[in-house]
Amino acid sequence: MATPEMRKDTLRRLRAGSGKLATAALKSLDAEHPWFSDLPAQERSWVGSVAQAGINSFVSWYAAPGESYRSATEVFAAAPPELTRSISLQHTLSIVRTVVKIVESHSDEFASPGNEQHLREAILRYSREIAFSAAEVYARAAESRGAWDARLEALVIDALVRGEVGDDLPSRAAALGWKPGPTLVMVGKTHGPLGEVQSAELRRHMRRVAPGSLVGIHGEDLVIIARSDEDRTKLAEELMPSFGPGPVVIGPEAVTLAEVARSTRAAFTGVAAAPAWALTPRPVGADDLLPERVLVGDAAARDRLMAVAYDPIVKAGGSLQETVATFLDCGRSLELASRTMFVHANTVRYRLKKVAELTDWDVLSTRDAHILETAFALGRLRDAAHAPL
């Protein structure tokens, strides 16, 4: 049994040899763990500080075992919080095991005669406390990081919705794991109001389906921004169950953060405009709702609709513009349009086919005719506003 004199002598020896133990621990880390050798110099110094603090903390604990919890926790105060980001809990526990192994292997050298077994038992008890302390440090860091990431994610989504792509937004998005590339944007409603637990579970599910995705929950509005390196349609189908009842709108394809912002705004206005089209598919593309988005005051939709459904027909020249305008003004009747233009109905049909090839919208289709009719109305208003008096 260890006597007070034995403990005092062992403590003196441990204090004198703490530097030697720390050096031996670092050499062992270098030899046994390749990941340690690959660390940058700054992070290696952090690990060295933790190893030295672990040995010093054990010495303090051995002197006053009643303060074990405080001593164990102080080990990780030697390194900055960034350590938990750059070094995993598994690697940290490897550091702990290595330090414990080194101290234990030198126990006969530092223990006073007859106190060897007592010192080894003390090392074992303290190693358990250090392991629990490490797990607690990482748990607190994860909780803090999760709360910070949620706030940062909300800020990024809000900036994208408002179109405020400042100089700092790319770095903020990158901190959340987003990288430029083919991106799918989806906007819809949640399955009713979500509490913190449901919101966290929804985010976890989204990231399992689409790693690196950004998820915004604003009331009952749900925004998903996910990398779509492969099949956008398949990814959208996998994400659909996360949305509640109501329209779900897919924004235009995007790659850069500025394009993602435009896509997000288009999808948001698409959700607001979707009720104007009674047969809105689910999901529906934001560009399939251009006429409805114009009705809710979306200036970007107005400009795009003219750019893709009016300007190409005007620039094509010939009689395409006249034919489309006459067909629409004649109640979408081939016969009436042909009589008005003094041409055969097949000529009208041929010209309208050329328009479909040019714009991908077939004016003989009810929905496509509505799109072209809205585009022509907007184009005429714009042309009239710019016409000389």
Domain boundaries, the chain: 4-144, 179-287, 310-386
In CATH terms, the fold of domain 4-144 is Globin-like (1.10.490)
pLDDT of residue 24: 85
Within 10 angstroms of residue 8's Cβ, the number of other Cβ atoms is 12
Instruction: Count CB atoms within 10 A of the CB of residue 118.
Output: 19
Name the pairing type of β-strands 221-227 and 183-189.
antiparallel
Q: What is the pLDDT of residue 89?
A: 63
Dihedral sign from CA coordinates of 333, 337, 340, 346: negative
Give the distance from CA 182 to its chain's centroid: 14
Output the pLDDT for position 327: 93
Integer Cα distance of 272 and 270 in angstroms = 5
So what's the pLDDT on residue 199? Answer: 76
pLDDT at residue number 3: 73
* Closest to 293 measured CA to CA, from 305, 307, 282: 305
Q: How far is it, in rounded angstroms, from Cα 261 to Cα 157?
A: 9
Nearest-angstrom CA–CA distance, 330 and 327: 5
**Cβ within 8 Å of residue 196, ≥6 positions away:** none
By C-alpha distance, which of 41, 136, 137 is closest to 84?
137
Pairing state between β 214-218 and 249-250: unpaired
Provide the whole-model pTM: 0.63
Angle at 358 between CA 353 and CA 359, to 5 degrees: 100
- Sign of the dihedral defined by the CA atoms of residues 280, 285, 290, 296, in that order: positive
In Å, how far are 245, 301, 367, 378 from 251, measured between CA atoms? 18, 12, 20, 22
Task: Take residue 292 and report the two structure tokens written for it.
Answer: 């409805």
| Residue length of the chain | 389
What is the 8-class DSSP label of residue 221?
A: E
Which CATH code fits 179-287?
A: 3.30.70.2730
Give me the pLDDT at residue 278, please. Answer: 93
Neighbouring C-beta atoms of residue 312, cutoff 10 Å: 15
Q: Could you read off the pLDDT tens digit of each residue along the chain, which spans 389 residues?
A: 567 787 788 888 888 888 888 888 888 888 888 888 787 887 788 777 777 777 787 787 777 765 544 444 556 655 555 565 666 667 777 777 787 788 888 877 777 887 778 878 887 777 777 766 666 666 665 555 555 566 777 788 888 888 877 777 888 888 777 788 899 999 999 888 877 677 777 777 877 877 778 888 877 889 999 888 778 888 899 899 889 999 999 999 999 888 999 999 999 999 999 999 999 999 999 999 999 999 999 999 999 999 999 999 999 987 999 999 999 999 999 999 999 999 999 999 999 999 999 999 999 999 999 999 999 999 999 999 876 65
Distance, in Å, from the CA atom of 124 to the CA atom of 119, rounded to the nearest integer, reads: 9
CATH architecture of 310-386: Orthogonal Bundle (1.10)
Which helix H or strand E contains 206, and what residues bound it?
Answer: helix 196-209
Coil, helix or strand at residue 295: helix
For position 69, what pLDDT does the model report?
45
What is the structure's pLDDT at 126?
Answer: 76
Identify whether the C-beta of residue 214 lies closer than 8 Å to the C-beta of residue 169.
no
